[in-house]
Amino acid sequence: EDLRIEPASFDAAVCRLGLMLFPDPLQGLREIHRALRPGGRVCTVVFAGPPRNPCITALTGTALRHAGLPPRDPAVPGGLFSLSRPGQLDALFQEAGFHDVATMAMDAVFRMPTVDDYLAFVRSSASPVLQILDGLGAAAAQAAWDDIRAQLQAFTTPDGWAGPNELLLTAARKPAGWNA
């Protein structure tokens, strides 16, 4: 949200699965706009809504339930699904000063050899699930992981594990005559 670089320093910017985590995504887009040269382009990728991302909802929903916590509002700024409402991304990009804004949904199946490989990936990443389960004792946390595994097993195919996800890709351009 504060790039601390000279204005008009870049021809292009890419933000992959990050913009939705910004507390103030509009400010982040304004900073990207400021950093781009006139005519520069930006592309971002964020998660589509919860119904289109059953692996993530199974992970977080099951972890929250085991931790005795209520479901989270997907629209809360900084959350994985915070930019998933229809039209939201286009409006933010336009408000930040971008033109030729276009958002499209794309399937992004997460493939791993097995569900256990996927869970190992989740456990090795900075997943919010780890934070949710952190307060549980070892046995309770293992019960949560076992429950998550059982649910995600549904995505096992003859070719391995294939977790469905949908992403929203947005591309836009800083107007050529813009001097800020």
Note the pLDDT tens digit of each residue in 9-35.
999 999 999 999 999 999 999 999 999
**CB-based burial, 73-89: b 16+ in 10 Å, e otherwise:** ebeeeebbbbbbeeebb
Same domain for 3 and 32?
yes
In what helix (H) or strand (E) does residue 106 lie, and over which residues does it extend? strand 99-107
Q: Residues 37-75: pLDDT tens digits?
A: 999 999 999 999 999 999 999 999 999 999 999 998 988
* DSSP category for residue 51: G
> Same domain for 172 and 115?
no
Domain match, 42 and 92 both: yes
Same domain (yes/no): 43, 121? no
pLDDT tens-digit readout, 135-178: 899 999 999 999 999 999 999 999 999 999 999 999 999 999 76
Domain coverage including residue 178: 1-48+84-109+165-180
Asked whether residue 99 falls in the same domain as residue 38, the answer is: yes
Report the pLDDT value the prediction gives residue 178, as an integer from 0 to 100: 61
Looking at the structure, tell me whether residues 102 and 13 fall in a common domain: yes
**Domain check: are 153 and 170 in the same one?**
no
Helices 138-152 and 115-124, packing angle to 10 deg = 130
Residues 20 and 56 in one domain: no
Note whether 92 and 159 are same-domain residues. no
* DSSP H/E element including 66: helix 54-66
Same domain, 129 and 159: yes
pTM recorded for the entire structure: 0.89
Within-domain flag for 77? no
Residues 173 and 159 in one domain: no
Q: Does the residue 78 lie in any domain?
A: no
